[in-house]
Structure 1
Amino acid sequence: MTAPPLTDHPHEPLTGSDDWHGAATTTQIAILTARSMRALVLDRRLLIIGVVESLIMLIAFGQVFSGLAYAPGFPAHIKYIDFLFPALMLTTTLQSGIQAGIGVTDDAQSGILDRLRSMPVWPGSILIARSLAGLARGALRLLVLLTLARALFGYHPAGGVEGLLAAAALSLAVSWSLSWLFIALACWIHQSEALHATAGLVMFPLMYASNAFVPMDGLPGWLRWIARYNPITHGINSARDLCLTGTTGPGVLTAILASLLIATAAATTATKALSRPR
């Protein structure tokens, strides 16, 4: 004699509901971040490209513009590599932010994004995972950049190890916040080629309408006005102070707050774009 089923329908789950609401949001983010990180760790081509890009940036900017250290208005007793390196830290980590956006477009083109959208996964989890993977990529690229700067140029910041680590943390925080601009663009564009072109248009004013490569006093008046309101300028100023002196002023709060405001607006836009029916 067989026992009666525990429910009216023998194949119905014991919970009494057929709905699966998915894993916790933190679990979703952890799993999706690990998925994105595997490509970073296992693909040697990405690591090689990161090393080559860092080397090109150091040689190109460090050598081509080194004569600016003797130009009128350049800070006295500061080598150009010491002036330049904090800007390269932000440039390098911002490139990782662009790669985070491209990762979203790659998932869209391969169909993985549609598959994830059909599951009980919060769209924000997908985007946060990509941003965290980009943050890890940026940290790795910073390590490569610093190693090459020390080996090739004897870079040794006057602010010491503490100042350098604080500048690196600031660069990662600002670039992670601004990476949401590229993630938001990816959610609307869905094409890697178009995103590359658009990201270039965004990066150009961010980096060159700033004090990344020349002091503010060396910029034309109209460009100096733009640079003054560029969040990258405040981030570079703070990172530069940390590397050169080990201390920084109130500009660090301006850089972080402005970047977080941009990140909040861009993350909200990106999540809404990913949630909309296609």
Structure 2
Amino acid sequence: MTLTTDRTASAAATAPPLPAAPQFGGTGVLRQIQVLAGRSLRALREPALVLPGVLEPILMLTVFSQVFKSVSQTTAFPAGVSYIDYLLPAFLVTGSISAALKSGVALTTEMNNGIIARFKAMPVHTGSVLVARSIADTALNLVNMLVMLGAAALVFGFGPAGGVLGSLGAVVIAVVLGWSLGWVFMALSAWLRRPEALQPIGGIVNMVLLFASNAFVPAEGLPSWLKGFAEVNPMSHAITAARDLALGRAHTSTVLAPLAVCLVVVALTAPLAIRTFRRTT
């Protein structure tokens, strides 16, 4: 018995060590972004989540195109332009701002319902969560913009002088603006951490920028004090760029300036949003 035990102990001592269990370090950042963005895009499979975002701007377009239609008969209104051709580019821009606010609200919701805490327990890069949400929400916003464009053409007779290319150019302006402001609202959401705090702030900012702009009437037709604000309102510049593209009157500087500002906004707020998100989650 002693001999057998000694042989077993000797064999155990001379046996090669067992390999250590593999440690899972997570996938690459690009793969993480792809998976997380796909998770957010699965909302397209649920009509109950998609239809409200599509129908709301169309219903608002129906109301505003009828209520303010008489504006097209004023002397300040551009000659030879129908009101729907004038109004829709503005709605593309304002719709993108609303979509950007929803990005921030969705992020704060996930921070409070425990989903982000689960991600933190996994080998997931912090920035991947925000980049994936930005990509997914931008894609959803693009779908909404194209649906609105198609509905306006079929129902309201939208047919600007810029044609299809000009209209798609207006969509690009709106989507890039929504993408950049999405990072602003995600930075705010990472700081505030409560959707009920973010929504009123975003709603007030959106309302002030919308009604103190050239969205519904030309700036020349506004009171002098409001005209001055509308001329420096960043929403007015984005609307002008989208409108000029749709109407076939675009100038290079008018189009490139808002796009450049959007890129600067992303360059400043994306690192801030990721840093704040990493500290507060």
Answer yes or no: same fold by TM over 0.5.
Answer: yes
Name 1:74's counterpart in structure 2: 77
The count of residues paired between Structure 1 and Structure 2 equals 270
Is 1:111 paired with 2:109? Answer: no
Query: Is residue 26 of structure 1 aligned with residue 34 of structure 2?
Result: no
8 A Cα contact 1:231 1:259, kept in partner: no
Matches within 5 A, 1:90-129: 90-129=93-132
With structure 2 as the length reference, what TM-score do the two structures score? 0.89
Which residue, 229, 239, 243 being the options, matches 1:240? 243
Question: Is contact 1:238–1:249 with CA below 8 Å preserved after alignment?
Answer: no
Q: Percent identity?
A: 37
TM-score (norm 1): 0.89
Preserved CA contact (<8 Å) 1:101 1:179: yes
Deviation at 1:126? 0.7
Spell out, residue by residue over 1:61-98, the C-alpha distance to the aligned partner (whole angstroms, 9 max, x if none): 11111111112311112111111010011112222212
RMSD: 2.0
Q: Evaluate the alpha carbon distance shift between residue 250 and residue 181 of structure 1 in structure 2; reply closer, same or farther with a 3 A threshold.
A: same
CA deviations over 1:45-70 (Å, ceiling 9, x no partner) = 12221232022111111111111111
Instruction: Map 1:15-164; keep pairs closer than 5 Å.
Output: 18=23, 20-39=24-43, 41-164=44-167
C-alpha distance in structure 1 between counterparts of 2:173 and 2:155, whole Å: 24
Greater Cα offset, 92-101 or 126-135: 92-101
Distance 2:247 2:73 in 1: 18
Query: Runs of 5+ in structure 1 lacking a partner?
Result: none
Q: Which amino acid aligns with 2:166?
A: G
Q: Are 1:179 and 2:182 counterparts?
A: yes
Question: What amino acid is the match of 1:4?
Answer: A
Q: Which runs of 4+ in 1 moved over 4 A?
A: none
1:258-269 aligned at under 5 Å gives the runs 258-269=261-272
- The equivalent of 1:205 in structure 2 is 208
Q: Matched residues in 1 for 2:252 and 2:45: separation?
A: 40
Corresponding residue of 2:20: 12
Q: Which amino acid aligns with 2:132?
A: A
Seen in structure 2, the aligned counterparts of structure 1 residues 230 and 123 have a Cα distance that, compared at 3 Å, is: farther
Query: Contact between 1:131 and 1:176, CA under 8 Å: does it hold in 2?
Result: yes
2:218 pairs with 1:215: yes
Task: Judge conservation of contact 2:191–2:280 (CA < 8 Å) in 1.
Answer: no
